[in-house]
Structure 1
Amino acid sequence: MRQTPLISARMLAHVRRGVLAFFGVPLLVAIALTLVDSYRRRNKKPKPFPVTAPTTVEVGRGTVTTYTFGQDLYDDMLAAIRGAKKQILFETYIWKNDSVGEEFKLALTEAAERGVDVHIIYDAFANLVVSPRFKRFSPRLKVLRFPVYNAGLRFYDLRRYGRDHRKILVVDDSVAFVGGYNIGTPYATEWRDTHCRITGPGVWDLKRAFADFWNLHRRKRFRASERPLLLETASQWEPAIRVHRNVPRLWMFPIRAMYIEAITRATDRIWMTHAYFIPDEDFVDAVNDAARRGVDVRLLVPRKSNHIVADWISRGYYGQMLEAGVKIHWFSDAMVHAKTATIDGNWSTVGTANIDRLSMTGNYEINVEVIDPAMARKMESIFETDLTNSEPVTKSDWDRRNIYRRFTELVLAPLRHVL
């Protein structure tokens, strides 16, 4: 009996070593891959890729314009900001202090100086490397810096650890922009992303989304006595457009449910484009089941993204997906950062949420769901254009991958449950 504490201590030591090995080895491999990839990218010039010109379709009582080239999007966003008369709501994840970032900052500042009510939200963690000088704003601007650490003394509360990954611009209740584009010079010409511009009643839903986030987090930045933003919204609804928001603080994650419902209802085709595809098992099962029942399931992902570890983890699902009949395509020579899907020529979504655990059950995200054939045709046209710059991943080629690749996928597999 006297040896029991010693035995327990030894067992605990073995458990600790096992846990460290289970997660420590994958982390070391991930760090090594990241360093090697960073070295290889040095002085590497970006290559051109096919894009689709901005196209507007009528949806319900408004319009939706899609963008696949950053400079086109930035031109229209800046035009809206410069033409604002009453209010601008601007929210972004990354806001670089380069020429594009400075142009946006100047336009927002000039709008405030001419009397426009300007509210800005940006994520502090995503902009840690941005110059502190850039993050000093005119007092005329109302700026909410979403903090790096938001839990305070409630370190145990998982609801307070999500990042603000959303990208929204609403101007004068008349026009709104939402999608995957951050703000910065590389995104203007070097990245393939998707954003959309909305007019009509759908604008109010995006305004409400911004206001709800502002009101939920404003107390740490502004006086409690300050009036909350947007107490009322228009009573009109646009049945063809729905805005879905992941709100970890309220434990709300509807975007994953939106995707799975649409996938399980698909009868003809599912075409998805994602920067990072690291789904949970239920999501993979839904996609594979659709392919097995004859649905044309296609997934477009970057051949090499800006996060090489995400690429390797994602590839751990390729075998079973290809076996089920899912067609996987690698986008070549550029980073595709879009988060979109279109199903059965009627349903589409554009937004900020990746198919990974950080987006599906962790971060603040926003996606627009559009049920409209004209919008679906536009999204299918964009997908087909992207396919001209992609390489298919065949089952036979995948089965012949070398031992190094198989070993890396195996070692990194535990990180699927984290990222």
Structure 2
Amino acid sequence: MLLGQLVSVVTLVSIENFRKKRRKVRRFPYTPAVPMDVGEDELTIYSYGEDLFAHMLEAIDGASEVIHFETYIWKADEVGQRFKDALIRAAARGVQVNVVWDEFANLVVPRRFLRMPGSLNVMRHPAIPVPWSPKSWGRDHRKLLVVDRKVGFIGGYNIGSLYATGWRDTHARIVGPGVSELENAFIDFWNLHVKRRRLKKLPDDLRRSWISKIRVHRNMPKLRVFPIRNMYLEAIDRATERIWLTHAYLIPDDDLVNALRDAVQRGADVRIIVPAQSNHVVADWLSRGYYDDLLRSGIRLFLYRGAMVHSKTATIDGTWATIGTANLDRLSLRGNYEVNLEILDENISRQMEEIFEVDLRNTYELSLEEWRTRSWVAKGTELLLSPWRPIF
């Protein structure tokens, strides 16, 4: 069986790599980024990378005190170089620049690109964890930027030219006191991992509000803390009208599937947008193993066409929303370092619903009848790979 699984994976990856070389970047509909007031903060939601990157670089170029920059993937292309140059310029004018990236996610990135000058404080999350220490196994899947304690960015966008125009993702910018929550997330991660590196701890003297419409939830594998999964389960359990999810990789555990099924039985309209083809072909096949159960339960699935949808978002009952880095899979919810915003605001929820409806224009709905007519080869491959689902 293991040999069959390995042969299937190699075959799928080879076919997908061939297709990627021939695949063209296509335009897709997106929603303009409009700032909105949320309590004492201003929140802007981005669904197009070029707009987001322009504002991130503008914030870096305007920094005068401190920059915290954290990413999962950092490509050595035009966009990646622009971010590198901007951070180096900031350090040259006296700004404290703290940078974190995940080494495993960037194994294919040229080493010369990832060599940073000594003016930057750099923390590389190790590609190979300590084998006998499971607490160190989590990947740093977070994407954060905090500048001068005034503006913060969080979401699904990695750094690279493809993500600027070729991927449909979602990111948020916070301006106001809520930025301290993002900065605290960065500082806690930095100080937790700084002990064995030639780096200094960052001061943890932030003043954070007890009451806010915007909350930050952080998965911290080293501390065995995974609140984002519980955040989703609690929100889904409250739903009475609609649950609209957009996710790059849909490999939910039984509790999440049951919670969504229960919501349908309460009369909620449950819709999920996923890629028709994602950038990880094995994840696609593992995800498809859940489609029959989800569709039979009355959960509606919409497949995004022509581009990779990489968002990790949800909006429920026109009241609750989340934007962040965590996918609905075990790696994100029980394994990786992740950060999600939880937003309780009707205006933001309404805007998230509008974004969802725009995305729906670029999807087609998968019916149970259509799904059951797929080939026996496809069904057999899904069954063969099914034992891998608990890993992902």
TM-score, normalised with respect to structure 1:
0.92
Deviations 1:116-152 (A, max 9, x none): 111000111111111111111111110111111232x
Q: Distance in 1 between matches of 2:7 and 2:262?
A: 35
What residue in structure 2 maps to residue 203 of structure 1? 179
1:329-340 paired onto structure 2 within 5 Å: 329-340=302-313
Report the Cα offset of residue 238 of structure 1: 4.5
What residue in structure 2 maps to residue 131 of structure 1? 110
Secondary structure at the aligned position of 1:277 is classed as: coil
1:151-162 paired onto structure 2 within 5 Å: 151=130, 155-162=131-138
What residue in structure 2 maps to residue 170 of structure 1? 146
Q: Distance in 2 between matches of 1:126 and 1:294?
A: 41
Report the Cα offset of residue 305 of structure 1: 0.3
1:121 pairs with 2:100: yes
Amino acid at match of 2:217: H
Q: Distance in 2 between matches of 1:236 and 1:262?
A: 22
Match of 2:166 among 169, 183, 190: 190
Match of 1:180 among 145, 156, 178: 156
Q: Distance in 2 between matches of 1:235 and 1:254?
A: 19
Conserved 8 A contact 2:184-2:204 = no
What residue in structure 2 maps to residue 396 of structure 1? 369
1:38-57 paired onto structure 2 within 5 Å: 38-57=17-36
Q: Distance in 1 between matches of 2:276 and 2:341?
A: 26
For structure 1, which segment, 377-386 or 123-132, has the greater mean C-alpha deviation from structure 2 after superposition?
123-132
Conserved 8 A contact 1:60-1:238 = no
Report the Cα offset of residue 31 of structure 1: 2.0
Conserved 8 A contact 1:201-1:237 = no
Deviations 1:283-318 (A, max 9, x none): 111111111221000000000000111111111111
Secondary structure at the aligned position of 2:245 is classed as: strand
Conserved 8 A contact 1:173-1:204 = yes
Conserved 8 A contact 2:242-2:269 = yes
What residue in structure 2 maps to residue 18 of structure 1? none
What residue in structure 1 maps to residue 77 of structure 2? 98
**Closer, same or farther: CA 53–238 of 1 in aligned 2, 3 Å:** farther
Report the Cα offset of residue 157 of structure 1: 2.2
Conserved 8 A contact 2:181-2:208 = no
Secondary structure at the aligned position of 1:30 is classed as: helix
Conserved 8 A contact 1:26-1:414 = no
Q: Distance in 2 between matches of 1:80 and 1:62?
A: 17
Q: Distance in 1 between matches of 2:3 and 2:193?
A: 35
For structure 1, which segment, 234-243 or 208-217, has the greater mean C-alpha deviation from structure 2 after superposition?
234-243
1:59-70 paired onto structure 2 within 5 Å: 59-70=38-49
Report the Cα offset of residue 235 of structure 1: 3.9
1:14-413 paired onto structure 2 within 5 Å: 21=1, 23-151=2-130, 155-222=131-198, 226=200, 228-413=201-386
Structure 1 residue runs without a partner (length 5+) = 1-20
Conserved 8 A contact 1:93-1:122 = yes
Q: Distance in 2 between matches of 1:193 and 1:235?
A: 29
Deviations 1:8-50 (A, max 9, x none): xxxxxxxxxxxxx3x4432331221111111122132111100
Q: Distance in 1 between matches of 2:292 and 2:208?
A: 49
Conserved 8 A contact 1:288-1:325 = yes
For structure 1, which segment, 392-401 or 75-84, has the greater mean C-alpha deviation from structure 2 after superposition?
392-401
Deviations 1:180-223 (A, max 9, x none): 00000000000000000011221001000000110011123215
Secondary structure at the aligned position of 2:174 is classed as: strand
For structure 1, which segment, 126-135 or 38-47, has the greater mean C-alpha deviation from structure 2 after superposition?
38-47
**Closer, same or farther: CA 234–72 of 1 in aligned 2, 3 Å:** same
Mark the structure with the bigger radius of gyration.
Answer: 1
Amino acid at match of 1:157: S
Q: Distance in 1 between matches of 2:382 and 2:268?
A: 28
Report the Cα offset of residue 158 of structure 1: 1.3
Amino acid at match of 1:186: L
Q: Distance in 2 between matches of 1:44 and 1:239?
A: 44
Amino acid at match of 1:70: G
Report the Cα offset of residue 156 of structure 1: 2.5
Structure 2 residue runs without a partner (length 5+) = none
Aligned structure 1 segments of 4 or more residues deviating by more than 6 angstroms? none
Give the percent of matched residue pairs that are identical in Structure 1 and Structure 2.
Answer: 51
Kindly tell me the number of residue pairs found equivalent between the two proteins. Answer: 392
Q: Distance in 1 between matches of 2:167 and 2:50?
A: 10
Report the Cα offset of residue 55 of structure 1: 1.4
Conserved 8 A contact 1:208-1:230 = no
Conserved 8 A contact 2:37-2:43 = yes
TM-score, normalised with respect to structure 2:
0.98
Secondary structure at the aligned position of 1:170 is classed as: strand
